[in-house]
Structure 1
């Protein structure tokens, strides 16, 4: 559901196409139902798509004294209108900085790496040194952790 809303937001922002609210809501609801039909939540209330109180949170805060950097990218058919974003939050869920901007990158993996770099630069500029990074790109995370190159990505020192 959130993906549908994010996609509609990017279509509006990058392609200047404004969808009808009822159509957007209908697509989001269909996406939500389809996802839960394929991936039912353990302990979910049947038909409601709601999880029980003992379900783990989808986002967990960093330890006290750390900040968490979450990154993501959005792509369009036009490679010059891709976007990247990141959010920095503290251990009590307070957003410290959120950025969403147009960016040109050749692939999603390169975009994720660039989002991590931009987020780390911002966190360091704000004075943070204990930074936990989360990305949904396992490829990029593995490359950074192993510090080598594969395909279109060469991982070097991200921040001096």
Structure 2
């Protein structure tokens, strides 16, 4: 199957980023998007095999991610979200003598679970401590984000990095 027209004749040792740039240069924004979602689908397929011992049919998996891309595109156009991002947000380290806590949460509807990740970095951006935790029976994104914040605060307290003012 030809998932990314214009890239089918390439036989090379190009890096992922070089292939992404090639997709962008040889095609439209849609070709690049297709390349990226197919790459994500293959990465996800690999992780399911390695970590969950689940073997997915490659054509089914790629068709599923292309279907997701198509649905996402429809929603973006329908709701008028077809705008390009005009600014980039960068992570900035905290001031000297301070630590910065970053948190994130994600829900996994197929397993009715969620996960949180927390990381503390110093003024150089070096990791002081990081942790992840699986949270059971959490299905709403807003709740898992709140739990991620709670776990981040608990990590700070446990490591003695929370100061009272």
User: Normalising by the residue count of structure 2, what TM-score does the alignment of the two structures yield?
Assistant: 0.48
Larger radius of gyration: 2
User: Normalising by the residue count of structure 1, what TM-score does the alignment of the two structures yield?
Assistant: 0.49
- Greater helix fraction, Structure 1 or Structure 2: 2
Q: Which has the higher contact order (CA 8 A, sep 6+)?
A: 1
